[in-house]
């Protein structure tokens, strides 16, 4: 494209030069101007088509919103104006100058002067012609009829007349005698036959013509006079006298005539000249305009290309794309700039790759840390220097039973919940320094107490400061410790107390047997009551020791798939005639098996149902509801009653031995239930219902049914 445009511009310049030369050269104008005008017109039309195609493509890009089209349009407009405005000014001035110049050529005074000079020249030549004709008549009078003319006589008469040549000619143009003042010319200049006939038929004629031989274009005066005499002449004779016009007069006359002729030609072509100059200048302007616009389009693309590369590259870099852009093969500043930009993007790409690698490593480490924190059973809370929550792991949310989503922008003293934990954290950092540890007790989501071991540490100020708090739910740990302690107590009681009970009972019975016959009736009655009391109390202590033994020596469960629904139905048959008959209110859509020991699970259910019935003794409309629901990978069993519920101090220690609301009993029932459920890997929770009464929830692990039966062993 660049080479084609250069060649076309060169050809257009050559055509314009030839057109200008044809305008100033009439011969070239007459021969080639129409062809040159047509060729230049075709060149202008070709440029116009090129410009239209370029502008159409630019307009299409503008409408399509192609990136960089507006920059190209602005550059094209500015470059075109820079070329067109000076060209239009030069065109206007040139047109004005050409028209004024052509009009100034045709002045009335110039025309009159040329006419006067031409008339003056003609008058001088006429005078010279008359003078030569008079001289010829004088010589003719001296010669007579010309019958006998000698050369010497003719020569003398020529010299007397001051003529250049003299000759006597026949009417047919034959030379009879001649005389010449020019030694180099032997024969005179011969007149035309028409001149001879005119001279013979008149008294004589004169004419002006160019000289012959080496006259160098000088004018020559010719006079032809017939010779007449008294004798009879068969053929008339004609005298010719020639004389050169003075050189100065001939040259002046020729110049005046030539100037007048040229002036007349110009005057005849005056309007044509105006049109020619107007067409030439207009065509030159159009060629210059179209060529300037085409060149401006080319320059706009050349200038805009590196800028568009940079702009596109900048947008790509802003979008995160550091792919090297195309470069401009130029040694100027724009080419250096595109190469530098590519170098920069390459360096940015390397830097981003390095940063991406570090970011990936950091994200991997952060993900690993988050995974560790998420899988920690301990709760972790991170606060900034103003005690605003910045991070909390899954363990913390699980322990607190709260997602803490509404307290992220609140300071710790402004938390609407968890007052005990917030107070312990604030007191720990304010009173115990940057590192402390404390055991606190808070209310769990079910209303029961929850023991937490809380540790706090202040973060270094170099990392932004703040505080981190780690806490563990040690409720189960404390319960396990208490259970272990009670198990040890139960074992010791079973070992240390049960052994003396039998001798005591036997001794009491023996005393009764030995002393009954020796005492009177009142004494025998007293002995009977005393020994019976001893036996009864020993039996009660044996039962209590047996309960403690059972609690301490609960065998490990023999786990197998158990159909809990079938087991419940079997147990509920035993309560068909009781005052309060439990009812199953919710059952999963399919038979559900749990991994359990059927005998131990039966003991658990009996204990819970007995406790529920004992809690409904004073209730007018007692009710026990049993519900089974699937909770993830576990089956939840809920036994709810509408009794009075548990007191808060009892609810906190309901699973501890010897904690009971009954007037009689050891309080080992729920403790044994808790131990059995724990041995099953399950979970048990007691809560007070808002509508009244209490609810015991047990979670057991779901399992697949056995291969040889649809239901577990009951």
Interval 170-196: pLDDT, tens:
877 788 778 877 655 556 778 888 888
Whole-Å CA distances, 507 to 347, 503, 504, 513: 102, 6, 5, 10
Backbone φ and ψ for 629, nearest 5 degrees, come out as -140, 150
| 619, 643 contact by CB (below 8 A) | yes
Tens of pLDDT, residues 688-698: 888 888 889 99
Read off the pLDDT band of 699 (50, 70, 90).
Answer: very high
Ramachandran assignment for 216, one of left (phi > 0), alpha (psi -120 to 50 degrees), beta (any other): left
In a shared domain, residues 75 and 145: no
In a shared domain, residues 546 and 568: no
Pick the range with the lowest mean pLDDT from 166-180, 630-644, 660-674, 677-691: 660-674
Does residue 713 have a pLDDT over 50?
A: no
Q: Which residues of 211-244 are buried (b: 16+ CB within 10 A; e: fewer)?
A: beeeeeebbbbbbbbbbeeeeeeeeebbbbbbbb
Q: What pLDDT sits at residue 278? A: 67
For residues 26 and 24, give the distance between their C-alpha atoms in angstroms, rounded to a whole number: 6
Range of the domain at 384: 376-473
In a shared domain, residues 600 and 623: yes
In a shared domain, residues 393 and 507: no
Q: What pLDDT sits at residue 260? A: 66
Out of 200, 218, 251, a domain closes at 251
Average pLDDT, the chain: 75
Q: Is residue 640 part of a domain?
A: yes
Q: Is residue 134 part of a domain?
A: yes
| 458, 378 contact by CB (below 8 A) | no
* Greater model confidence, 652 or 395: 395
Mean pLDDT in residue range 318-346 = 68
Number of CB atoms found within 10 A of residue 201's CB = 9
In a shared domain, residues 283 and 392: no
Tens of pLDDT, residues 447-484: 567 788 889 898 888 777 888 989 888 877 777 777 77
* Greater model confidence, 349 or 132: 132
* CB < 8 Å & 24+ apart, contacts of 267-270: 267/106, 267/111, 270/102, 270/105, 270/106
Q: Is residue 338 part of a domain?
A: no
Number of CB atoms found within 10 A of residue 591's CB = 14
For residues 163 and 132, give the distance between their C-alpha atoms in angstroms, rounded to a whole number: 8
In a shared domain, residues 99 and 142: no
Number of CB atoms found within 10 A of residue 36's CB = 23
For residues 638 and 568, give the distance between their C-alpha atoms in angstroms, rounded to a whole number: 12
Q: Is residue 171 part of a domain?
A: yes
Q: What pLDDT sits at residue 638? A: 93
Q: Is residue 47 part of a domain?
A: yes
Read off the pLDDT band of 363 (50, 70, 90).
Answer: confident
Q: What pLDDT sits at residue 507? A: 83
Q: What pLDDT sits at residue 119? A: 77
Q: Is residue 323 part of a domain?
A: no
> By percentage, how much of the chain surpasses pLDDT 90?
3
| CATH number of the domain enclosing 191 | 3.30.450.20
Mean pLDDT in residue range 646-650 = 72
In a shared domain, residues 133 and 245: yes
> By percentage, how much of the chain surpasses pLDDT 70?
70
**Dihedral in degrees, nearest 10, Cα atoms 510, 511, 512, 516:** 120
Q: What pLDDT sits at residue 627? A: 92
Quickly tell me which residue has 């999963």 as its tokens.
Answer: 588
Whole-Å CA distances, 392 to 149, 383, 471, 542: 156, 9, 12, 53
Q: Is residue 360 part of a domain?
A: no
Mean pLDDT in residue range 103-127 = 68
For residues 603 and 605, give the distance between their C-alpha atoms in angstroms, rounded to a whole number: 6
Read off the pLDDT band of 711 (50, 70, 90).
Answer: very low
Pick the range with the lowest mean pLDDT from 222-226, 345-349, 593-597: 345-349
Pick the range with the lowest mean pLDDT from 245-259, 360-374, 503-517: 245-259
Does residue 419 have a pLDDT over 70?
A: yes
In a shared domain, residues 90 and 8: yes
In a shared domain, residues 548 and 568: no
Out of 201, 222, 251, a domain closes at 251
In a shared domain, residues 487 and 463: no
Q: Is residue 324 part of a domain?
A: no
Mean pLDDT in residue range 84-98 = 68
- Which DSSP category does 205 fall into? E
Tens of pLDDT, residues 498-525: 677 778 878 888 887 888 777 788 888 8
In a shared domain, residues 459 and 531: no
In a shared domain, residues 644 and 535: no
Structural domains counted in the chain: 5
Out of 443, 473, 503, a domain closes at 473
Does residue 271 have a pLDDT over 60?
A: no
């Amino acid at each position: 494209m660049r080479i084609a445009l250069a060649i076309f511009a060169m050809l257009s310049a050559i055509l314009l030069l030839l057109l200008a030369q044809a305008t100033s050269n009439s011969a070239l104008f007459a021969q080639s101007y129409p062809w040159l005008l047509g060729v230049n017109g075709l060149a202008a039309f070709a440029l116009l088509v090129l410009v239209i195609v370029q502008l159409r493509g630019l307009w299409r890009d503008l409408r399509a919103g192609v990136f960089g089209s507006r920059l190209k349009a602005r550059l094209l407009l500015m470059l075109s104006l820079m070329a067109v405005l000076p060209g239009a000014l030069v065109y206007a001035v040139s047109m004005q100058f050409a028209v004024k110049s052509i009009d100034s050529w045709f002045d009335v005074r110039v025309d009159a002067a040329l006419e006067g000079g031409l008339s003056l020249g003609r008058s001088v030549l006429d005078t010279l012609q008359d003078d030569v004709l008079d001289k010829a008549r004088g010589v003719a009078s001296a010669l007579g009829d010309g019958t006998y003319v000698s050369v010497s006589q003719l020569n003398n008469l020529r010299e007397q007349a001051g003529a250049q040549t003299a000759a006597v000619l026949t009417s047919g143009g034959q030379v009879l005698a001649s005389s010449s003042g020019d030694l180099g010319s032997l024969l005179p200049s011969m007149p035309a036959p028409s001149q001879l006939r005119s001279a013979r038929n008149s008294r004589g004629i004169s004419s002006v013509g160019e000289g012959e031989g080496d006259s160098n274009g000088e004018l020559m005066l010719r006079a032809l006079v017939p010779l007449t005499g008294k004798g009879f002449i068969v053929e008339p004779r004609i005298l010719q006298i020639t004389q050169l016009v003075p050189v100065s007069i001939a040259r002046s006359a020729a110049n005046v005539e030539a100037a007048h002729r040229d002036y007349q030609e110009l005057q005849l072509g005056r309007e044509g000249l105006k049109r020619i100059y107007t067409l030439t200048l207009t065509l030159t302007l159009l060629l210059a305009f179209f060529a300037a616009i085409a060149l401006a389009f080319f320059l706009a693309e050349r200038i805009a290309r590196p800028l568009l590369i940079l702009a596109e590259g900048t947008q790509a870099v802003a979008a995160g794309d550091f792919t090297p852009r195309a470069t401009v093969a130029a040694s100027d500043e724009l080419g250096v700039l595109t190469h530098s930009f590519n170098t920069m993007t390459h360096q940015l790409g390397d830097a981003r790759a390095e940063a991406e690698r570090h970011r990936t490593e950091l994200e991997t480490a952060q993900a690993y840390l988050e995974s560790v924190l998420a899988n920690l059973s301990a709760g972790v809370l991170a606060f900034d220097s103003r005690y605003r929550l910045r991070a909390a792991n899954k363990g913390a949310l699980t322990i607190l039973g709260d997602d803490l989503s509404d307290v992220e922008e609140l300071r710790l003293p402004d938390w609407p919940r968890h007052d005990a934990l917030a107070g312990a954290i604030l007191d720990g950092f304010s009173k115990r320094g940057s590192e402390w540890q404390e055991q606190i007790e808070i209310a769990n989501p079910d209303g029961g107490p929850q023991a937490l071991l809380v540790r706090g540490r202040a973060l270094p100020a170099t990392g932004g400061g703040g505080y981190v708090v780690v806490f563990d739910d040690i409720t189960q740990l404390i319960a396990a410790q208490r259970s272990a302690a009670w198990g040890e107590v139960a074992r010791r009681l079973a070992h240390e107390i049960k052994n003396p009970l039998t001798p005591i009972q036997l001794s009491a019975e023996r005393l009764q047997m030995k002393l009954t016959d020796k005492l009177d009736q009142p004494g025998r009655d007293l002995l009977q009551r005393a020994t019976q009391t001893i036996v009864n109390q020993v039996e009660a202590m044996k039962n209590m020791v047996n309960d403690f033994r059972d609690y301490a020596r609960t065998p490990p469960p023999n786990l197998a798939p158990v159909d809990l629904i079938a087991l419940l139905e079997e147990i509920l048959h035993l309560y068909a005639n009781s005052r309060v008959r439990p009812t199953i209110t919710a059952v999963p859509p399919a038979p559900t098996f749990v991994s359990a020991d059927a005998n131990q699970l039966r003991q658990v259910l009996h204990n819970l149902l007995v406790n529920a019935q004992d809690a409904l003794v004073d209730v007018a409309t007692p009710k026990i509801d049993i519900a089974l629901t699937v909770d993830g990978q576990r089956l939840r069993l809920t036994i709810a009653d509408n009794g009075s519920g548990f007191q808060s101090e009892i609810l906190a220690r309901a699973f501890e031995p010897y904690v009971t609301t009954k007037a009689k009993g050891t309080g080992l029932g729920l403790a044994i239930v808790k131990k059995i459920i724990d041995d099953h890997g399950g979970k048990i929770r007691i809560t007070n219902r808002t509508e009244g009464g209490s609810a015991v929830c047990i979670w057991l692990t779901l399992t697949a049914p056995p291969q040889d039966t649809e239901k577990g062993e009951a």
